[in-house]
Amino acid sequence: MSRDIWVISDTHFGHRNIIDYCDRPFKTTWHMNQAIRDNWNDVVKDGDIVYHLGDVYMGWNEPQDIQPFLHSLKGRKRLVLGNHDDAKDINLYNTFQKIMVWRMFPEFGLLLTHVPVHESALYRGATGNEKEPKKLLNVHGHIHEKPSPSMDHRNVSVEQINYRPINIEELRKW
């Protein structure tokens, strides 16, 4: 069975104000939550791996009620913590197989973070050709509808990826 790796960031499930702050095309948080979940489950298979690059949920009316919703999202979920995530949140702990502050994929040439990192952090060391040192591509969220700071960054906030996870192979071509 083949499995894919997917990436998404800044879902902000349950966060009413994010709809206005980022001009999201939803009337209510219910519609936003359902649309993102439907889009997620349309592309992700049960055995796939999904890296959520932070800011999973915020302002959910009853925090204990978020867990069934998060469990309805397909895939084996891993979390790169965002600035609105609490590493001690039992709902995140019970939903995500792994929780981390960043994830490097040297085989893909990618560095997954919540915030875009400084370009100097993307160099992978001496290559013998200092005019073209080897660099990682920083896949990040955090800045929502704003463009990435450089060609060495890819913003996967939901506003940038049509509110659905993006396949890691697509990020390499983007």
User: Which range of residues forms the domain containing residue 91?
Assistant: 5-173
Give the separation between CA 158 and CA 19, rounded to whole angstroms. 12
Per-residue b or e along 22-49, where b marks 16 or more CB atoms closer than 10 Å to that residue's CB: bebeeeebeebbebbbebbbebbeeebb
Per-residue confidence at 132, pLDDT binned at 50, 70, 90?
Answer: low
| pLDDT of 137 strictly over 60 | yes
Per-residue confidence at 121, pLDDT binned at 50, 70, 90?
Answer: confident
Domain count, the chain: 1
Q: What are phi and psi of 172, to 5 degrees?
A: -70, -25
Name the average pLDDT for the chain.
92
pLDDT at 1: 47
CATH code of 69's domain: 3.60.21.10
pLDDT at 2: 60
